[in-house]
Structure 1
Amino acid sequence: MSRTNNLAFTAPINPPGLTPLTRSQIWAGLQLKVRSAETFVAAAIQSTDVLSESTDPVTGNAVTVREVLFRESQKKVKEVVTAFEPCRVEFEQPDGSRVSNVVSEGAAGELYMTYIFEWRHPGVSAEELAAALEKEKAMSRAAVEGTIRVLRQLVEAGKL
């Protein structure tokens, strides 16, 4: 039986007191993240190899096939990444796990970043699934906040 943890975490992109990031800077950063995941989540991903890039003929969305090397497990995972410009990037793994990076706008025009996770855990017990969820909750917050921090650093360094 396959068990799944579904969770999401949201953070403001431009909190008071910081130089605001624009939508175009954020989108450029997310495109870099597709090709260089380790730039954004170095604690989890060691390297990214882009295997192919294409355009979906039906939707016009950019589709990238990449292989990431996870640092802790030293496991290589092939992912299909679809970009839904200018608001969402979806990462799908062979086991059906999915991660979405979403940029949304609040009522007053403020920008938020949300990561949505669908982590598949085939063959685990309910207790193991619960333990994985606690780890995944912490990781989701770190991933969102870390991505925003790196986006800001790249903009300040003139790289985006």
Structure 2
Amino acid sequence: MTERRSDPPGDGVRGQGSSRRTVLASGAAVLVAAGCTRYGEDTGGGESFAPEPGSPTAAQPGGERLGTTAEVPEGGGKVFTAQKVVVTQPEKGDFKAFTAVCTHQGCLVDKVANGTIDCPCHGSEFRVTDGSVARGPATRPLAAKPIAVSKGEIRLA
């Protein structure tokens, strides 16, 4: 006589009160929960995952490197597209940084010329000295970004 099995073939866990779906869903929940912490938060696990000092992923003093002071002309500026930051040098040695996202409709500014930071989408212009609106349609200034300038390097602070 042949024994009839009522459970579908599987991993043999079913008879122990858990289905394969339950086990997989529980594992996914643990992975999602583990991914919901921010870098540097204490999760109580007692283990730190900070990069080793000097490693390529370790944070450098002063924040993310934007570029060099030589890249930013006096009276002008440079747009660092990847970081969405524009750095200006209104006067020799005086560096300013602003968001490169136009306050009109969120386009990225694309150039610095004739004392203004220019947006290609609708023609808004912002002053290199303080990010204020020089010409609309934008009505709000570009937000200032903190930077650190040291040894010819410009970094986000």
Give the TM-score of the pair, scaled to structure 1.
Answer: 0.28
The higher relative CO (CA closer than 8 Å, separation ≥ 6) is in 1
Larger CA Rg, structure 1 vs 2: 2
Give the TM-score of the pair, scaled to structure 2.
Answer: 0.29
Give the number of the structure whose residues are more often strand, by fraction. Answer: 1
